[in-house]
Amino acid sequence: MDDGQFGRSLRRRRQTAGLTQRELAVRAGVSVRALRYWENGKIDTPRMASRQQIQQVLDGAPAPATETVRIGVLGALTVRGRHRELGLLRPKAAALLAVMALQPNQQVGRDEVVHTLWGDAPPASYLRLLRGHADAVRRMLGQTPWLSSVGKGDGYLLTVARDQLDVLEFKALAAHARATRGMGDLARAYELYKASLDCWRGTPLLGFHTRLRHHPAAVALANQRVSVAMEYADLGRRIGRHTEVDARLQHWAPFSA
CB 188 within 8 A of CB 134: no
Q: Is the pLDDT assigned to residue 84 strictly greater than 70?
A: no
152 and 84, same domain (yes or no): yes
237 and 169, same domain (yes or no): yes
For 70-82, what is each residue's pLDDT tens digit? 999 999 999 887 5
Q: Is the pLDDT assigned to residue 37 strictly greater than 90?
A: no
For 144-197, what is each residue's pLDDT tens digit? 788 998 876 689 999 999 999 999 999 999 999 999 999 999 999 999 999 999
In a domain, 89, yes or no: yes
List, in sequence order, every residue forming a beta bridge with 109; answer none if it has no partner: 155
The whole-number average pLDDT for the span 219-246 is: 93
Q: Is the pLDDT assigned to residue 8 strictly greater than 90?
A: no
The whole-number average pLDDT for the span 198-226 is: 92
Where does 89-241 have alpha helices with state H? 91-101, 110-118, 126-141, 166-182, 186-197, 210-213, 216-238
In a domain, 63, yes or no: no
Q: Which of 40-44, 81-85, 182-186 has the lowest mean pLDDT?
A: 81-85
135 and 202, same domain (yes or no): no
pLDDT band at 213 (very low <50, low <70, confident <90, very high): very high
25 and 88, same domain (yes or no): no
CB neighbourhood size of 246 (10 A):
13
CA–CA gap between residue 165 and residue 162 (Å, rounded) = 6
- Give, in order, the Cα–Cα distances in Å from 34 to each of 25, 38, 211: 9, 6, 38
The whole-number average pLDDT for the span 30-39 is: 81
142 and 222, same domain (yes or no): no
CB 10 within 8 A of CB 42: no
List, in sequence order, every residue forming a beta bridge with 146; answer none if it has no partner: 159
In a domain, 64, yes or no: no
In a domain, 19, yes or no: yes
Mean pLDDT of the chain: 85
pLDDT band at 210 (very low <50, low <70, confident <90, very high): very high
100 and 122, same domain (yes or no): yes
Which of 162, 177, 204 marks a domain boundary?
Answer: 162
In a domain, 65, yes or no: no
114 and 155, same domain (yes or no): yes
106 and 130, same domain (yes or no): yes
Maximum average pLDDT range among 88-92, 204-208, 214-218, 250-254: 214-218
Residue 154's pLDDT is what?
Answer: 84
Q: How many domains does the chain have?
A: 3
Which of 137, 162, 187 marks a domain boundary?
Answer: 162
Q: Is the pLDDT assigned to residue 64 strictly greater than 50?
A: no
Domain that holds residue 210: 165-252
Which residue in 234, 231, 233, 235 sits closest to 248, CA to CA?
233
Q: Which of 33-37, 93-97, 194-198, 225-229 has the lowest mean pLDDT?
A: 33-37
Q: Is the pLDDT assigned to residue 143 strictly greater than 90?
A: no
187 and 242, same domain (yes or no): yes
Spell out the long-range contacts of 41-49 with Cβ–Cβ below 8 A and sequence spacing 24 or more.
41/1, 41/2, 41/3, 41/4, 41/6, 41/7, 41/8, 42/1, 43/1, 44/1, 44/2, 45/2, 45/6, 45/7
Residue 85's pLDDT is what?
Answer: 52
Q: Is the pLDDT assigned to residue 65 strictly greater than 50?
A: no
Which of 162, 186, 208 marks a domain boundary?
Answer: 162
In a domain, 169, yes or no: yes
User: Looking at residue 46, which CATH number applies to its domain?
Assistant: 1.10.260.40
Maximum average pLDDT range among 99-108, 150-159, 245-254: 99-108
pLDDT band at 56 (very low <50, low <70, confident <90, very high): confident
240 and 207, same domain (yes or no): yes
Q: Is the pLDDT assigned to residue 235 strictly greater than 90?
A: yes
